[in-house]
């Protein structure tokens, strides 16, 4: 069945994507103020260079054939980079550097996962570091926009929960690799509980939900134990209700949900503006830099989907949504042929996580779900977020057997 | 491995859920696109809640009624034209819902689902809307109305083009009264309403045209009949009062002199059903016009279902619970002038994109036959004789005017002044225009509505005939 699927032609796709990136770049340069032009040009030129180095390197040296996953990621990342450069031109270089770190993490994690053994061996240390990082964040993180999940290290702000997402998928898949027993599931439940609990303490409910969802996907994939998962879900639901009951300010944060137009200038401000400007964009958008949603708070992060609708148009927005679906479909289809359950589970977990996060983001700003303030994978501005996304992509890449077939890494 | 891949398939249900969410998202976006994009917070179109960037509105002669200059709406330089065309053009803040700027929001901003507001971005303006309105005639009508509240409407009875619509009280968009929302004296009552489209008035004697039409249709020997007027007449269990004692008069004289006694008797003779039938054929009790598919009109009402004989008598002379909408009444009168054929009134003659493509063209739409040609001819003669024998051709020199006045009692309170009405049209081939004038709280139609109609029709004659 897998044999039948044809790989997309790398060079045609690369040509199309490059064309898109060049159009974005020239529009940006045309609109930008003089002082930012060089910054934007260098960032984009280097980004395209990195992109070509990656593709040519993996094609010619590692002799790989399939590039669907990376093409999607490079395209989405360039949309995000364009929006960042357009709204915050001074932050372009910083975002570009984060992208490069992310791509390096992507390559490194792929390389590391070429063999199963070290992955299994590292699961406990990674889990410990992850929990430690979360605990550190709970204690030392500073409040930013109602959530306490930022740590400042030497002038650079880091969101530990983003990095822990990668660890979470890794630990989840690795700890459930060997034993198909309730014991290992219990261990994972404890680990998941620690992470989700920490996020609650940080008031980052959106990310807590993402972790919980990923936990459910991973534990279901491994154990198939519907009963235990149902119990965990019920407990979580009751816990959630208790929180809403005893911490009314949590419920207040979501008070506008479902009727944002009644909170037009208060708690529904971001959602209503997103909808107004999304509708203004039409199918093809008003053009990069011509939108007004960019003036609204968090336009490049939480509301970035609205900016895409307004400036790039609904067709592009739809294509972005389908990208996340494509990543999950890719994982599901390759899971069958994966070398080990670790690869199958981690790929499905990572791609399901991104799909769920995209859903929270996109449906949140359009008032189909409560607004939780999570980022749109690959597109939202933010270093930790983009690094996390690229590293999660490594799991998806690793599930494909052909990734490790050539180039002498492993036959 | 098998169990894992089977479980992985369960993830397809997550994908289905996600796709369903995306479907709902785009369904919402597409079905609400106009409503959301037209929101006053949209800075592509609005500046602090006022329409800022949009196309022009022009009158029939290409006079610019409103345009966009330096990022805000700029109205006609002539203050009187601004005030006279306010309700038709609409204000930038959208208080006047039936104004073209509000009713044609999508068109004037050039918004479409496909392009969004991109055309504004590209051309700096939306689509231009050309009206059938003649700003100069509107100005004459506005000045003629003076301090009265009321409305004047003029329509080409052959084509349906509305060339004059004025509604008072009105205001200057550049100098909006500060006390407009706080005043309690009533001087701004209904100031945001276009009385021509949305108003409902007791018709008074203008309704006698309908009663007369019904009589011509249903009483074969109506012209041979003789009526006796003693200043009042018993109908059923009470009396209908007349404005004078007309003595013995025939049908034509009764209409000329607007004799209540005669018309109450006629109503009694034709009966509830026939009168309702005639009225409903010419648009009463219907859904109301929707001008150019966008601007909703109120609709005229005649409800005789519970009417006693006396009520029927009063209804026959335009009292009781009868109400007319000026636009509907004007259309009905127009059909008499147009050999019984009614045409749909319209206001927008053309909408053009910035690159010159015409996206809408106003056209004459026939509504059907309100009267047989024979009945229309007879009414035509009767209405002509009203002006010739009663109001005086000197008020309408060379216009070959036909018409009927009405003075409508609007309250049992004797201190409340009645409304004065006039409906009519010119028979001249080269000025096929019908007019309705309604003046609120006046002494008589002869002293208010008729002179206003006279001024407007004379201005039209100057403008449209050699």
Supply the pLDDT for residue B132: 94
- Provide the CB-side half-sphere exposure for A185 (13 A, CA): 19
Q: Tell me which chain A residues have a C-beta less than 8 angstroms from the C-beta of B52.
A: none
| Per-position b or e across A61-72, b if 16+ CB within 10 A of its CB | eeebbbbbbbbb
Q: Which of B25, B36, B54, B120 is the best substitution to test chain A (most A C-beta atoms within 10 A)?
A: B25
Q: In sequence order, which ranges of A141-179 are alpha helices (DSSP H)?
A: 160-175
Q: Is A331–B8 a contact, with Cβ atoms under 8 angstroms apart?
A: yes
How far A86 CA sits from the closest chain B CA (Å)? Answer: 17
Q: Tell me which chain B residues have a C-beta less than 8 angstroms from the C-beta of A290.
A: 121
Q: Is A359–B121 a contact, with Cβ atoms under 8 angstroms apart?
A: no
CA B30 to CA B36: how far, in whole Å?
Answer: 10
Closest partner residue to A275 (CB to CB) among B36, B44, B118 is B36
Supply the pLDDT for residue A322: 97
Residues in Cβ contact with A349 at an 8 Å cutoff, skipping those fewer than 6 apart = A169, A172, A173, A214, A217, A218, A221, A395
- Which has the closest alpha carbon to B389: B404, B379, B399, B374? B404
The residues spanned by each domain of chain B are: 139-464
- The model's pLDDT over A181-232, given as tens digits with 9 standing for 90+, comes to 556 677 888 899 899 988 888 888 889 999 999 999 988 888 777 887 888 8
Average pLDDT over residues A347-374: 94
Closest partner residue to B14 (CB to CB) among A280, A284, A355 is A355
Q: Which CATH superfamily is domain B139-464 in?
A: DD-peptidase/beta-lactamase superfamily (3.40.710.10)
The owner of tokens 């949009």 is B54
Choose the weakest-confidence range: B118-122, B158-162, B420-424: B118-122
- The model's pLDDT over A243-289, given as tens digits with 9 standing for 90+, comes to 878 777 777 778 889 899 999 988 899 999 999 999 999 999 999 99
3-state secondary structure of A88: coil
Preceding peptide of A300 cis, ω within 30°:
no
- The model's pLDDT over A25-81, given as tens digits with 9 standing for 90+, comes to 999 999 988 899 999 999 999 999 999 999 988 888 888 878 889 999 999 999 999
Q: Which of A276, A285, A288, A359 is the best substitution to test chain B (most B C-beta atoms within 10 A)?
A: A276
User: Radius of gyration of chain A from Cα atoms?
Assistant: 21
- The model's pLDDT over B373-384, given as tens digits with 9 standing for 90+, comes to 999 998 999 999
CA A280 to CA B452: how far, in whole Å?
Answer: 46
Closest partner residue to A279 (CB to CB) among B7, B9, B33 is B33
Q: Is B7–A275 a contact, with Cβ atoms under 8 angstroms apart?
A: no
How far B13 CA sits from the closest chain A CA (Å)? Answer: 11
B101 neighbors B54 (Cβ within 8 angstroms)? yes
A250 neighbors A242 (Cβ within 8 angstroms)? no
Residues in Cβ contact with B261 at an 8 Å cutoff, skipping those fewer than 6 apart = B227, B228, B229, B230, B231, B232, B233, B240, B242, B246
The pTM score is 0.80
Q: Is B116–A344 a contact, with Cβ atoms under 8 angstroms apart?
A: no
How far B352 CA sits from the closest chain A CA (Å)? Answer: 20
Residue A345 structure tokens: 């589970």
DSSP secondary structure string for all residues of B283-343? TTTS---EETTTEE----B---TT--HHHHHHHHTT-TT-BB-HHHHHHHHHHHHTTTEEE
Percent of chain A surpassing pLDDT 90: 55
The backbone torsions φ and ψ at residue B301, rounded to the nearest 5 degrees and listed phi first, read -130, 135
Residue A169 structure tokens: 């998928």
Supply the pLDDT for residue A182: 59
The backbone torsions φ and ψ at residue A261, rounded to the nearest 5 degrees and listed phi first, read -70, -20
CA B64 to CA A338: how far, in whole Å?
Answer: 71
Name the most confidently modeled range: A67-81, A335-349, B70-84, B390-404. Answer: A67-81
ipTM of this complex prediction, to 2 decimal places: 0.93
- Which has the closest alpha carbon to B244: B236, B253, B252? B253
**Alpha-carbon distances of B16 from A221, A322, A329, B12, rounded to whole Å:** 18, 12, 11, 6
Chain A nearest-CA residue for B9 = A332
Adjacent-strand bridge partners of B407: B420
């Amino acid at each position: 069945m897998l044999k039948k699927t044809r790989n997309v032609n790398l060079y045609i796709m690369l040509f199309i994507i490059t064309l898109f990136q060049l159009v974005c770049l020239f529009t940006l340069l045309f609109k930008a103020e003089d002082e930012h032009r060089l910054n934007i040009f260098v960032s984009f030129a280097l980004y395209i260079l990195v992109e070509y180095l990656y593709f040519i390197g993996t094609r010619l040296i590692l002799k790989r054939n399939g590039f669907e996953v990376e093409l999607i990621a490079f395209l989405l990342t360039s949309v995000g980079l364009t929006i960042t450069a357009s709204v915050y031109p001074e932050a372009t270089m910083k975002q570009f550097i984060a992208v490069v770190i992310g791509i390096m993490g992507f390559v490194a994690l792929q390389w590391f996962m070429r063999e199963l053994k070290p992955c299994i061996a590292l699961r406990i240390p990674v889990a410990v570091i992850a929990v430690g990082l979360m605990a550190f964040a709970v204690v030392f993180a500073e409040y930013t926009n109602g959530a306490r999940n930022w740590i400042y290290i030497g002038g650079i702000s880091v969101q530990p929960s983003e990095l822990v997402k990668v660890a979470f998928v890794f630990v989840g898949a690795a700890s459930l690799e060997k034993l198909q027993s309730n014991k290992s599931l219990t261990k994972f439940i404890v680990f998941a509980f620690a992470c989700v609990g920490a996020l609650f303490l940080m008031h980052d409910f959106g990310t807590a939900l993402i972790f919980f969802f990923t936990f459910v996907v991973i534990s279901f994939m491994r154990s198939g134990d519907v009963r235990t998962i149902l119990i965990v879900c019920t407990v979580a639901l009751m816990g959630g209700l208790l929180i809403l009951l005893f911490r009314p300010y949590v419920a207040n944060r979501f008070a506008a949900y479902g009727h944002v137009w009644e909170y037009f200038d208060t708690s529904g401000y971001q959602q209503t503006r997103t909808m107004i400007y999304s509708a203004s964009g039409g199918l093809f958008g008003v053009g990069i830099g011509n939108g007004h949603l960019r003036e609204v708070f968090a336009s490049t992060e939480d509301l970035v989907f609205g900016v895409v609708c307004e400036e790039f148009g609904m067709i592009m927005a739809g294509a972005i949504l389908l990208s996340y679906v494509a990543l999950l479909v890719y994982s599901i289809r390759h899971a069958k042929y994966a070398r080990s359950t670790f690869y199958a589970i981690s790929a499905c977990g990572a791609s399901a996580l991104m799909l769920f996060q995209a859903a929270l983001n996109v449906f949140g700003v359009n008032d189909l779900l409560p607004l939780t303030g999570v980022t749109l994978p690959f597109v939202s501005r933010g270093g930790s977020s983009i690094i996390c996304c690229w590293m999660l992509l490594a799991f998806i890449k690793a599930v494909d057997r052909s990734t490790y077939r050539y180039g002498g890494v492993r036959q | 491995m098998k169990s894992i891949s089977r479980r992985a398939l369960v993830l397809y249900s997550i994908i289905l859920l996600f796709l369903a969410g995306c479907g709902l998202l785009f369904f919402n976006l597409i079905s609400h696109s106009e409503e959301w994009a037209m929101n006053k917070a949209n800075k592509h179109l609005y500046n602090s809640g006022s329409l800022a960037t949009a196309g022009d509105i022009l009158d029939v002669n290409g006079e610019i009624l409103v345009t966009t200059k330096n990022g805000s709406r700029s109205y006609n330089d002539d203050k009187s034209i601004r005030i006279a065309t306010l309700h038709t053009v609409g204000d930038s803040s959208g208080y006047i819902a039936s104004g073209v700027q509000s009713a044609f929001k999508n068109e004037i901003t050039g918004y479409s689902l496909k392009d969004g507001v991109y055309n504004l971005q590209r051309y700096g303006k939306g689509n231009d809307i050309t009206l059938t309105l003649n700003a100069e005639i509107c100005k004459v009508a506005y000045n003629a109305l003076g301090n009265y509240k009321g409305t004047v409407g003029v329509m080409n009875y052959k084509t349906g083009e509305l060339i004059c619509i004025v509604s008072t009280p009105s205001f200057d968009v550049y100098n909006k009264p500060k006390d407009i929302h706080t005043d309690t004296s009533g001087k701004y009552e209904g100031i945001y309403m276009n009385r021509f489209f949305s108003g409902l008035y007791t018709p008074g004697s203008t309704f006698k045209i309908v009663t007369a039409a019904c009589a011509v249709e249903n009483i074969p020997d109506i012209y041979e009949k003789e009526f006796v007027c003693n200043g009042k007449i018993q109908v059923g269990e009470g009396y209908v009062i007349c404005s004078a004692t007309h003595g013995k008069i025939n049908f034509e004289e009764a209409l000329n002199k607007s004799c209540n006694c005669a018309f109450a008797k006629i109503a009694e003779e034709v009966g509830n059903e026939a009168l309702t039938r005639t009225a409903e054929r010419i648009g009463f009790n219907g859904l109301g016009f929707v001008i150019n598919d966008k601007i909703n009109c109120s609709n005229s009402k005649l409800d005789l279902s519970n009417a006693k004989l006396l009520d029927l008598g009063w209804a026959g002379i335009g009292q009781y619970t009868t109400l007319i909408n000026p636009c509907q009444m004007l259309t009905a009168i127009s059909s008499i002038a147009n050999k019984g054929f009614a045409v749909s009134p319209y206001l927008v003659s053309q909408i053009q994109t910035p690159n010159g493509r015409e996206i809408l063209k106003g056209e004459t739409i026939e509504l059907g036959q309100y009267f047989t040609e024979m009945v229309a001819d007879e009414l035509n003669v009767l209405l002509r004789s009203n002006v010739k024998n009663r109001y005086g051709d000197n008020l309408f020199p060379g216009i070959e005017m036909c018409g009927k006045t009405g003075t409508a009692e609007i309250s049992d309170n004797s201190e409340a002044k009645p409304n004065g009405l006039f409906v009519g049209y010119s028979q001249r081939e080269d000025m096929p225009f019908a007019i309705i004038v309604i003046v609120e709280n006046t002494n008589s139609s002869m002293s208010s509505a008729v002179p206003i109609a006279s001024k407007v029709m004379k201005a039209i004659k100057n403008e449209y005939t050699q």
